[in-house]
Amino acid sequence: MYAARNLTPGFILRFAAKPVFVFAAYATFVTCLYELAGLRFLALPFVPISLLGTAVAFYVGFKNNSSYERLWEARKLWGAFVNDSRTFTVQLLDYLQPSGQLDAEALKEHQRILVYRHIAYINCLRIQLRQRKVWEEKHDPFAAIVTEKTPFVNQNLLKEIKQFLHDDEAEWLYNKSNTATHILRKQSSHLRHLHESGCVETFKQVELGRLIQAFYDHQGACERIKGYPFPRQYAFFSEVFVWLLAGVLPFGLVGELSKLGEVYVWMTIPMSVLISWVFLVMEVVGDRSENPFENSVNDVPMTAICRNIEIDLREMLGEKDIPGRIYPVRNIIM
Amino acid sequence: MYAARNLTPGFILRFAAKPVFVFAAYATFVTCLYELAGLRFLALPFVPISLLGTAVAFYVGFKNNSSYERLWEARKLWGAFVNDSRTFTVQLLDYLQPSGQLDAEALKEHQRILVYRHIAYINCLRIQLRQRKVWEEKHDPFAAIVTEKTPFVNQNLLKEIKQFLHDDEAEWLYNKSNTATHILRKQSSHLRHLHESGCVETFKQVELGRLIQAFYDHQGACERIKGYPFPRQYAFFSEVFVWLLAGVLPFGLVGELSKLGEVYVWMTIPMSVLISWVFLVMEVVGDRSENPFENSVNDVPMTAICRNIEIDLREMLGEKDIPGRIYPVRNIIM
Amino acid sequence: MYAARNLTPGFILRFAAKPVFVFAAYATFVTCLYELAGLRFLALPFVPISLLGTAVAFYVGFKNNSSYERLWEARKLWGAFVNDSRTFTVQLLDYLQPSGQLDAEALKEHQRILVYRHIAYINCLRIQLRQRKVWEEKHDPFAAIVTEKTPFVNQNLLKEIKQFLHDDEAEWLYNKSNTATHILRKQSSHLRHLHESGCVETFKQVELGRLIQAFYDHQGACERIKGYPFPRQYAFFSEVFVWLLAGVLPFGLVGELSKLGEVYVWMTIPMSVLISWVFLVMEVVGDRSENPFENSVNDVPMTAICRNIEIDLREMLGEKDIPGRIYPVRNIIM
Amino acid sequence: MYAARNLTPGFILRFAAKPVFVFAAYATFVTCLYELAGLRFLALPFVPISLLGTAVAFYVGFKNNSSYERLWEARKLWGAFVNDSRTFTVQLLDYLQPSGQLDAEALKEHQRILVYRHIAYINCLRIQLRQRKVWEEKHDPFAAIVTEKTPFVNQNLLKEIKQFLHDDEAEWLYNKSNTATHILRKQSSHLRHLHESGCVETFKQVELGRLIQAFYDHQGACERIKGYPFPRQYAFFSEVFVWLLAGVLPFGLVGELSKLGEVYVWMTIPMSVLISWVFLVMEVVGDRSENPFENSVNDVPMTAICRNIEIDLREMLGEKDIPGRIYPVRNIIM
Amino acid sequence: MYAARNLTPGFILRFAAKPVFVFAAYATFVTCLYELAGLRFLALPFVPISLLGTAVAFYVGFKNNSSYERLWEARKLWGAFVNDSRTFTVQLLDYLQPSGQLDAEALKEHQRILVYRHIAYINCLRIQLRQRKVWEEKHDPFAAIVTEKTPFVNQNLLKEIKQFLHDDEAEWLYNKSNTATHILRKQSSHLRHLHESGCVETFKQVELGRLIQAFYDHQGACERIKGYPFPRQYAFFSEVFVWLLAGVLPFGLVGELSKLGEVYVWMTIPMSVLISWVFLVMEVVGDRSENPFENSVNDVPMTAICRNIEIDLREMLGEKDIPGRIYPVRNIIM
């Protein structure tokens, strides 16, 4: 996530430089053909192009809106992880009780294991979601910025979860096809054992089971956003339309400007660049926001969220030696 | 689902070739009438056509949006099947307990039967949803691609569910008017028997019953999307409007271009094709996305999702010999 | 519901004929005044009319969207009736148990009565919703088609529910001001009696009570859509705006076309008809979809849904002699 | 709520007369300055005004949409009151049981008191919501119609609730800062007493408590809509923009029409009135719908809904002497 | 929140003055270059600028819509705090019962402590949300008005919660990294102690636990809105586009007006200011509404809501000496 109010000039330059150059070169080429090579039939009326532009603006607006909804849904899901992690911990601490088989001290250790396994779960899911899918393999200025500027890297999954789990358990889980799914499975069976030991009443076991269900729901929704891109038939044509529009714009502008006089024709170049660039940026902003788990600058800041959850939960356990919050590095927080 | 980032040129060609040809032929015909046959009164002013185009863009945008919402809802429903299948299995494993009537070993077999019947349910629903409805019988380039390129076929329902069910039960279920509905009915009565055998407490039986309710909800929502198309009054006129617009466009363009001079008139053909094609593609993309269960390239990838559920569930049962994930064939995953 | 992919030419003709004639007559009249009577000051510039058209397109688009949402909500509610009817029946069959006061045979009969009463409920609600409200009394081509073409009629409520209820109960319920509401009330008190007889545990009685609550919610939502039309202040002005636009269009077109030459002026007639018709159809399609329970061709197919529910539920009771599905008659399914 | 299909001419006249007069006077003034006073520099090009108009249409469309959502949410909330009132009554009748301390007859009286107190609650909330807030104090044609035409008045809160409550209780509640809130509080403590008398099991008490929670939710949502207007920064500028647009329109029209010839200039007046009026009506319709609890003609018909609830609930109690439904008076139902 | 129906002229002036001046200066400069310096090639055709304006209007409309949704969600969340606070208090009063260990008097004191701690929670959350984040540090006329006109200041968190909590507890909580989170944690463990003392049945303890869960959900959602701004890539370019449009507008207007004649050229200045200002205000209104917890005039009025909750809850406890409601100060209510 970009965490400053305004984008820096460098950021915009990187973003804008290449298409501006392409549009300028193209418009210059068209204008030269018209003006220098004298191909006067290249001039087109602008009103039909205006109709085309309006239709394209509709379509790009629709894509922008849908992409934003995907991003916002992803952010809400990680917000839900924060909320439900707090609730889960509070319930683990207040719904379990010592029994004949398990004294207060032993129960406390079980509670610690359960909370640590939950922290492992959250981090495991984060790493799983940050793996690349095929439809993301494309030169992307937003991703390039992250790679260059920030020290966040996809940590090794096994190493990460070993921080919070017993080594054997971590390795057993690591070998499952979807590790996060099986961590939750483990939480559930741990609670069954505590139920069998008399430490949790049926009703409270089921209440905790509903939180596990909620975690499966949030996880599945994240996996859906990750695994099901904005439908390609919609996304692809949006880009095609913008490039087609940019392709005919100089012809229409040459036509419109030549009406005003010879000298105006060269204004085709800045106007063409300006309008094409606005449409392209609209398209690109939507396009780069549609996948919020791709190590790009528009990502949901999962690393920071995971750390915040860890801090809250370990404070609830009464621990002292707790790592600090994660702050933005050069305005980017992951 | 189309699983690559960009559509291939072949895909687009197939998609674009026929209408481009039709539009080109029509525009050529109109231009010849005007220019060669000298029917000058065919030229029309463009501004009113522009107003028409704006109104049509609104309407097509509305259809696109609604179609996308149908597709996205369908995808969410299958995401919910993934989540609830995981929860259902975890609860079957952790909420049942051996009793006097049923020892641990026997209970384990019951759990296996319940989980396998759930896999049968998911696959049965998938096959039921992939049957064709009357409003889909139309030449559809998206469907043609699938038929040609990919080996996915609608497997025989009975054969499919026999993999996961006892043969007698499979046949009894197959003869019901809605097999999936009765598989869930069977799950519920199986749980009643386990309740009567003392293996599941009332409270937990009801909790599992709520998941069965959730499956009925998701199934019913899929059947609603399948059985209730985007209302024809909305859908049909969208197509009519686009064709009407395409029909008057060359007249307007001839008018606008003839103002610039004789030589420009022939530019009617490429401009007419371009604008008509953009509107048509907008319409067609929405039109082809509105029904997400029709064996078309825009389908929700139910086959892959069913397999993922099968893998997760059988891993939870501790099985070893598990089939692999389904990967896209020529960029298409069903 | 119109169940074919495309509307038939006859359907469109019926739909289009009258306004096309009106628009044509009006445009002819205006053109004659201008051209024959020589009232040259009738010509107006088109650009301001274009602005008016854009604003109207916005407003009509908003109405279309809202109408579609009403229709779609109605369809979702009837989908929810399907899902919850299945769940209700499954729970009635699996959550009740014989007791000292009521043996297995007697319980089975109680279960049959409860399920039949539910079928009565669904059909009763359907008939109540199909009664006409005052804001629907208007000549409506969609309704005319249904009246003419299809044999579906509003059956007598009492006769209909007597099929599924004891005669005395049916008559007692029929005399309530809202029969459907009191059928559910009866279901609840029947379950109370079974609870008092020891056939249903407290927890399961409450679980069934939640489904009764769900039915009240769905019923109330249908009654809300039925009883609270799309607000008249929004709906009415949408129609007024379209007619105002259609009223000024010929003046603008005469002005625009007369610029091109004398001969073009008569093109006012087809262009005016075309643009006015597109705006009118957009308006009318939304207008006719906003009330989904009015015996019109855009209705939610409640009759077919009720039959599907009846089939599923009676199959669950193990009955054999079950009526068939309802199929579209001349492409219309109610 | 306006309950007829179309608005009457009188209604529209009232609505339209004043702005039409203002716009006409203004346009006449501008045209005279141009034509008679010869201030030719007042003519402006129309295309930039068209751009302004498009932007304003967007903004007004956004306001319309948001206002409609507020109105629709309010109507949904009152629909939810209907549904939950039915459920609450059914559960009061079927979840309470006689106990050693309270025989069947006494319980029946308690049930009657609880249901009557609920009717008091609904009516109390209605009256509280119909009080005026400061941002509604403005001349409003919709409200004027109601004041003039209909006999509905804000009844005295105390008098109204005394119909359904014991006098002492009514007065005690009336003196609370939010009476409705404390009626629900009273329902809850009444149920606690019945629980202590053994008339309601814990589980059923909590189930009824959830309905009380639902009533608090619906009440709070109504109070939110009432107490938090559509944000003024959005609402206010929408009106400003429309008036700015209406302010420049005649200048643009004079410019456009003068191109056609001297005689056309006077057409500025009707065209200016038409376009300004359409924009103004769009704005006003949204503006007057954004607050649905203000004794205006666009209000949610709470009085009628309260009566319907009263009828349903008293029929469920088996009462005979029940007041009738409320019908629209001169097409307006409150 | 601005609580009057219309904004005051002073408010608008403050809002409008600076950009109007900038736009006027810029347009004057451009017009002088064209007219006085004779740089005739500066005139541009307006139609392409119109297309640009339409696209920008789309984008700004999208931002407005999204910002409004953020604001509205924030307001809904605080509405939910009101509702759930009422429910929580009612349940605390009616679901707890004296036991052998805790007599009625002692229980009453526990109830008072729990309700007071809830008031502390609400106020603590309000103060935490009103802290500034980095993306808000910008000159903002809305915030300036508040700072100047109103006496509301961010009270010291510790001082505020000490009003409702025991001093030791307040200080212990104050030292946690997220105080609000740990107040809820404390509520939960207090209820566990009451459960262990036999004052609350398991089922009711879990029901109260669900409200604590709801508070975590609402709190987390507020923190999400606070901590995750409207994505900068969307927000920033919206502003850039508006300034680019404002930058080219005078060139286009000079072009369009010079067609009408020399004298018209100076009309560039007012028209440019008008159109630029409308676009800018649209942008700014959305921009200033997107963060509803920033001590700005568009804030959710949390201070007033907290006070209303305090009044309701203390009235429920039967207290007499209760502070009054908070009223707007110079039309602003925080």
**Shortest Cα distance, chain D CAs vs residue E2, angstroms:** 7
Q: CB of D288 within 8 Å of any CB in chain C?
A: yes
| B132 — pLDDT class (breaks 50, 70, 90) | low
Q: Is C328 within a domain?
A: no
Q: Is E332 within a domain?
A: no
**Shortest Cα distance, chain A CAs vs residue E285, angstroms:** 16
Whether residue B197 is predicted with pLDDT greater than 60 in this model: the reply is yes
Rounded to 5°, angle at Cα A36 from A30 and A37:
80
The per-residue pLDDT for D287 is 84
Those chains having 3 or more beta-carbon pairs within 8 angstroms of chain C are B, D
| D61 — pLDDT class (breaks 50, 70, 90) | very high
**Contacts with D221 from chain E: Cβ below 8 Å:** 76, 79, 83
Mutation for testing the B interface, residue in A68, A192, A219, A228 having most B CBs under 10 Å? A228
Whether residue A307 is predicted with pLDDT greater than 60 in this model: the reply is yes
**Shortest Cα distance, chain B CAs vs residue C90, angstroms:** 6
**Shortest Cα distance, chain D CAs vs residue E278, angstroms:** 7
Out of B61, B86, B253, closest to residue A48 by CB: B253
| C213 — pLDDT class (breaks 50, 70, 90) | very high
Would the CB atoms of E298 and D231 count as touching at under 8 Å? yes
Best CA proximity match to C91, nearest among A327, B33, D61, B216: B216
Q: Is E197 within a domain?
A: yes
The per-residue pLDDT for D331 is 78
Task: Give the dihedral sign, CA A107/A111/A116/A121.
Answer: positive
Chain B with chain C: Cβ pairs closer than 8 A? 173
Best CA proximity match to D90, nearest among D109, D106, D114: D114
Each residue's pLDDT tens digit, D100-129: 999 999 999 999 999 999 999 999 999 999
Whether residue C153 is predicted with pLDDT greater than 50 in this model: the reply is no
Which residues in chain B (193-232) have CB-CB distances under 8 A to chain A? Answer: 201, 203-204, 207
Q: Is C324 within a domain?
A: no
The per-residue pLDDT for B11 is 73
B89 and B192 Cβ atoms separated by less than 8 Å: no
The per-residue pLDDT for B149 is 45
Out of E135, E188, E191, closest to residue A3 by CB: E135
% of chain C residues with pLDDT over 90: 63
| C170 — pLDDT class (breaks 50, 70, 90) | very high
**Shortest Cα distance, chain A CAs vs residue E194, angstroms:** 11
Q: Is B324 within a domain?
A: no
Whether residue C249 is predicted with pLDDT greater than 70 in this model: the reply is yes
Each residue's pLDDT tens digit, D210-267: 999 999 999 999 999 998 888 888 888 899 999 999 999 999 999 888 888 777 889 9
**Contacts with A5 from chain E: Cβ below 8 Å:** 134-138, 232
Q: Is B328 within a domain?
A: no
The per-residue pLDDT for D132 is 60
**Shortest Cα distance, chain B CAs vs residue C242, angstroms:** 12
Would the CB atoms of C44 and D93 count as touching at under 8 Å? no
Those chains having 3 or more beta-carbon pairs within 8 angstroms of chain A are B, E
**Contacts with A51 from chain B: Cβ below 8 Å:** 49-50, 53-54, 275
Domain carrying residue C47: 9-316
Q: Which of E187-213 are b and which e, b meaning 16 or more Cβ less than 10 Å from the residue's Cβ?
A: bbeebbebbebebbbebbbbbbbbbbb
Whether residue C140 is predicted with pLDDT greater than 60 in this model: the reply is no
Whether residue D139 is predicted with pLDDT greater than 60 in this model: the reply is no
The per-residue pLDDT for B333 is 83
Question: Could you give the CA distance from residue B94 to residue B115 in angstroms, rounded to a whole number?
Answer: 13
Each residue's pLDDT tens digit, B274-295: 999 999 999 988 888 888 888 7
Mutation for testing the A interface, residue in E228, E258, E290 having most A CBs under 10 Å? E228
Highest mean pLDDT among C43-52, D88-97, D149-158, E132-141: D88-97
**How is residue B97 written in tokens?**
């307990």
| C137 — pLDDT class (breaks 50, 70, 90) | very low
Question: Could you give the CA distance from residue B227 to residue D226 in angstroms, rounded to a whole number?
Answer: 40
Question: Could you give the CA distance from residue C86 to residue E316 in angstroms, rounded to a whole number?
Answer: 43
| Mean pLDDT of all residues belonging to chain C | 88
Those chains having 3 or more beta-carbon pairs within 8 angstroms of chain E are A, D
The per-residue pLDDT for A287 is 84
Name the domain count of chain E: 1
Whether residue C133 is predicted with pLDDT greater than 70 in this model: the reply is no
D85 and D308 Cβ atoms separated by less than 8 Å: no
The per-residue pLDDT for A40 is 81
| Mean pLDDT of all residues belonging to chain A | 88
The per-residue pLDDT for C132 is 60
Residue B85 buriedness (CB in 10 A; 0-12 / 13-18 / 19+):
buried
Q: CB of A1 within 8 Å of any CB in chain E?
A: yes
Would the CB atoms of E49 and D51 count as touching at under 8 Å? yes
**Shortest Cα distance, chain E CAs vs residue A2, angstroms:** 7
Whether residue A24 is predicted with pLDDT greater than 80 in this model: the reply is yes
Out of A44, A61, A184, closest to residue B271 by CB: A44
The per-residue pLDDT for E298 is 80
| A276 — pLDDT class (breaks 50, 70, 90) | very high
Average pLDDT over residues A65-89: 95
Comparing A109-123, A197-211, B34-48, the range with the smallest average pLDDT is: B34-48
Question: Could you give the CA distance from residue D244 to residue A92 in angstroms, rounded to a whole number?
Answer: 61
Q: CB of A71 within 8 Å of any CB in chain E?
A: yes
Average pLDDT over residues B235-245: 92
**How is residue B318 written in tokens?**
């501790």
Q: CB of C166 within 8 Å of any CB in chain B?
A: no
Given a cut of 50, the residues of chain E with pLDDT beneath it are 134-139, 141, 147-154
- Secondary structure of chain A: what % helix, strand, coil (to 5)? 75, 0, 25
Average pLDDT over residues B140-145: 50
Average pLDDT over residues B319-333: 86
Comparing B204-208, B215-219, C279-283, the range with the smallest average pLDDT is: C279-283
Which residues in chain C (119-148) have CB-CB distances under 8 A to chain D? Answer: 134-138
**Model ipTM value:** 0.92
Average pLDDT over residues C271-284: 93
Highest mean pLDDT among B176-180, B185-189, D227-231, E34-38: B185-189
**How is residue A42 written in tokens?**
């290249």
**Contacts with C289 from chain B: Cβ below 8 Å:** 231, 233-234
Q: Which of A207-221 are b and which e, b meaning 16 or more Cβ less than 10 Å from the residue's Cβ?
A: bbbbbbbbbbbbbbb
The per-residue pLDDT for E153 is 44
- Secondary structure of chain E: what % helix, strand, coil (to 5)? 75, 0, 25
Whether residue B145 is predicted with pLDDT greater than 80 in this model: the reply is no
The four Cα atoms B321, B322, B327, B332 give a dihedral, to 10 degrees, of 130
Question: Could you give the CA distance from residue B35 to residue A37 in angstroms, rounded to a whole number?
Answer: 26
**How is residue B173 written in tokens?**
């279920």
Comparing A81-95, B33-47, C195-209, D134-148, the range with the smallest average pLDDT is: D134-148
Out of C54, C138, C237, closest to residue D285 by CB: C237
Q: Is D331 within a domain?
A: no
| B102 — pLDDT class (breaks 50, 70, 90) | very high
| C248 — pLDDT class (breaks 50, 70, 90) | very high
Longest dimension (CA), chain C: 98
E222 and E77 Cβ atoms separated by less than 8 Å: yes
Those chains having 3 or more beta-carbon pairs within 8 angstroms of chain D are C, E
Out of A253, A259, A289, closest to residue E48 by CB: A253
Each residue's pLDDT tens digit, B116-128: 999 999 999 999 9
Residue C211 buriedness (CB in 10 A; 0-12 / 13-18 / 19+):
buried
Would the CB atoms of C278 and B244 count as touching at under 8 Å? yes
> What would the DSSP string read from start to end of C295-326?
SSTTS--HHHHHHHHHHHHHHHTT-S--PPPP
Q: Is D323 within a domain?
A: no
Whether residue C117 is predicted with pLDDT greater than 80 in this model: the reply is yes
Mutation for testing the C interface, residue in D77, D271, D317, D321 having most C CBs under 10 Å? D271
Question: Could you give the CA distance from residue C315 to residue C322 in angstroms, rounded to a whole number?
Answer: 8
E262 and D257 Cβ atoms separated by less than 8 Å: no
> Searching chain C, which residue's CA lies closest to the CA of residue B256?
C260
% of chain D residues with pLDDT over 90: 63
Mutation for testing the C interface, residue in D56, D67, D68, D329 having most C CBs under 10 Å? D68
The per-residue pLDDT for C128 is 92
